[in-house]
Amino acid sequence: MTLILGLESSCDETAAAVVADGVQVRSNVVWSQHALHERYLGVVPEIASRAHLERLTPVVEQALAEAGCGLHNLDAIAVGNRPGLIGSLIVAVAAAKTLAWSLGKPLIGIDHVEAHLWAASLIDAGEEHPSHHPGRFPALGLVVSGGHTSLYDMAGPTQLRRIGSTIDDAVGEAYDKAANILGVGYPGGPRIDKLAQQGDASHIEPLPQSTLDRDSLDFSFSGLKTALLYRVRGQPVGRGKDATFERCADDLSDTHRADLAAAFQHAAVGVLITKLGRAIEQLDAQGRRPQRVILGGGVSANSLLRTRIAEVATRYSLPAHIPKMRYCVDNAAMVAGLAHAYHTAGHTDTLDLPAIATTRH
Ligand code: KG4
Ligand code: ZN
């Protein structure tokens, strides 16, 4: 059995986890900084990196204690070293290097985007291995998070070919901005999702679903965000920061606000589903029909997306692998899990492993 400790501090979650053989989660500790950033309606990088520094050691101690293991039991130390906020990433990277060096254990740097696509493979102690593990390839991967909206033709868990991505906002970012427009605060995704479930999209004239060119697998969410803004506040007078509006979000009734959230959710998820179908058909036509669909990233916690992706899977007779709710948002179990694949392949990193703001894919 291989036990790997994973560390993650790429954005506003400080996390550590111990995973056995790549899939069985022995502990998964996530300390969310949401309360620290809430009043700024978004992540403040300097606050995030300082908080990681304060929390990482207790989070690692807790992860080891909950897993019932000591540092000497570990086979390797894994860390999400890209992409993310650079000042945040370096905290876990420095900690992982220190542990690896002082314990004489291998160090493995992990790409956060690849890790999100591993999250659906994770199981809890005592649970059976999922029937899809290790899973068949090629697979179609969809990463939907605060920083990414990307489709991948996957030849293996670490062999990703990006076939579509957003040309403006990521879908999670669009959710966060929509939450600001509707005046429901931060973090936007879960709040809009909850509100949308109380609303009815059919009470509202549909919001636009931008699908770009007929064959495009890219995404665009900025038009949807602007359409929502005008629907909430009326047509602007003037431009940019100086623009003034007819109304403000406080003027919305609760029912109307919930209906608008439902209309936004319907449009945002609708685009994701359209592109997923397009990607399956295009890959099929190229002789690379995906054997399954893998979903990952914070927005994969979305209730409507989870339902509708299951419908796509049925329509195309493909299994859809969706992470458990706790492995959708940023966590270190997905980092430790994927590291097992690298460890098994004999791939480890040296102590000059850099923190990098961009993804490899
Ligand atoms: O993967 P993640 O934790 O961090 C990044 O790698 O970006 O994703 C965070 C994003 C945020 O934009 C958050 O609003 C969104 O995921 N999110 C959701 C939901 N839960 C989290 N978006 C829509 N519906 C949700 N239920
Ligand atoms: Zn993420």
- Listing DSSP states for 187-233 in one string gives SHHHHHHHHHHHS-GGGSPPPP----STT---B--HHHHHHHHHHHH
Ligand 1 and 193: CB distance under 6 A: yes
The pLDDT, as a whole number, for residue 354 is: 98
3-class secondary structure, 129: coil
Bridge partners of 163, per DSSP, are none
Question: In 3D, which of 322, 349, 316, 190 has the Cα closest to residue 261?
Answer: 190
Question: Is 287:157 a contact under the CB 8 Å cutoff?
Answer: no
Cβ(172) – ligand 1 distance below 6 Å: yes
Q: Is 189 in the pocket of ligand 1 (CB under 6 A)?
A: yes
Closest-lying ligand 1 atom to the alpha carbon of residue 147: 7
Distance in Å, CA 191 to ligand 1 centroid = 11
Write down the residue that tokens 């900025």 correspond to.
222
State the distance from the centre of ligand 1 to the C-alpha of 151, rounded, in angstroms. Answer: 17
**Residues sharing a CB contact under 8 Å with residue 174, sequence separation 6 or more, in sequence order:** 221, 222, 224, 225, 268
Q: Is the CB of 175 inside a 6 Å radius of any atom of ligand 1?
A: yes
Instruction: Tell whether ligand 1 has an atom less than 6 A from the beta carbon of residue 330.
Output: yes
For position 134, what pLDDT does the model report? 64
Pocket test for ligand 1, best of 145, 149, 269 (most atoms within 8 A of CB): 145
Residue 147: CB within 6 Å of ligand 1? yes
Q: Ligand 1 atom 3: the closest Cα is on which residue? A: 329
* Each residue's pLDDT tens digit, 241-272: 888 999 999 999 999 999 999 999 999 999 99
- 303 CB-contact burial (10 Å; exposed 0-12 / middle 13-18 / buried 19+): middle
Where the chain has pLDDT below 70, the residues are: 130-134
Query: Closest Cα to atom 7, ligand 1: which residue?
Result: 146
Which of 176, 329, 359 has most ligand 1 atoms within 8 Å of its beta carbon, as the pocket-test mutant? 329
- pLDDT, residue 131, reads 61
What pLDDT does 42 receive? 87
Query: How would you label 31-62 residue by residue, b for 16+ Cβ within 10 Å and e otherwise?
Result: bebeeebeeeeebbeeebbbbbbebbeebbee
Ligand in closest contact with the CA of 175: 1
Q: In the structure encoding, which two tokens stand for residue 98, read together? A: 């220190």
Q: How far is the CA of 169 from the centre of ligand 1 (A)?
A: 13
DSSP 8-state secondary structure symbol assigned to residue 246: S
pLDDT at site 132: 61
And the tokens for 188? 């936007």
Q: Is 296 in the pocket of ligand 1 (CB under 6 A)?
A: no
